[in-house]
Amino acid sequence: MQYLTNAFSLQMLSKLLRKDTETPVYIKELDAEEAKAYLSTYFVSAIGHQGTAEFLTKLLGIQVPLNRAQIELLPGDRLIVMQPWGARLQPGQELTADVMMELFKQGKVKFIMIRIP
């Protein structure tokens, strides 16, 4: 399965965790075009904020629906995470589509791919 999210949590790996063995996880930074290429075939949205869904729809040219879903990754899954990076919002500032686009233009938004072999 392939997912698009705006956050990553270790809880997403809960079905893979074992006390007796390590779980491999591969992580790679993507640019927006690479993210779009991965997502152009099929993905499940787990974007929980309307402004973020609108921003991603505009940036990637792919319909990104709002979907507050809980994800538990399994072998073979790919997670593409879009997050503001290194930018602290002002107190009370909302991540609207316009704010997200401005952060992106400033290079303060990253796409990270997490793949479970």
* Residues 58-114: tens digit of each pLDDT: 999 999 999 999 999 999 999 999 998 886 777 877 789 999 999 999 999 999 999
- List the beta bridge partners of residue 26: 115
Residue 38 one-letter amino acid: Y
Domain 2-14+23-115 is found in CATH 3.40.50.11170: yes
CA 36 to chain CA mean position, Å: 12
Q: Over the range 7-42, which residues count as b (16 or more CB within 10 Å of their CB) and which as e?
A: ebeeebbeebeeeeeeeeeeeeebeeeebbebbeee
- 9-53: per-residue pLDDT in tens? 999 999 998 889 898 999 999 999 999 999 999 999 999 999 999
Residue 7: pLDDT band (50, 70, 90) is very high
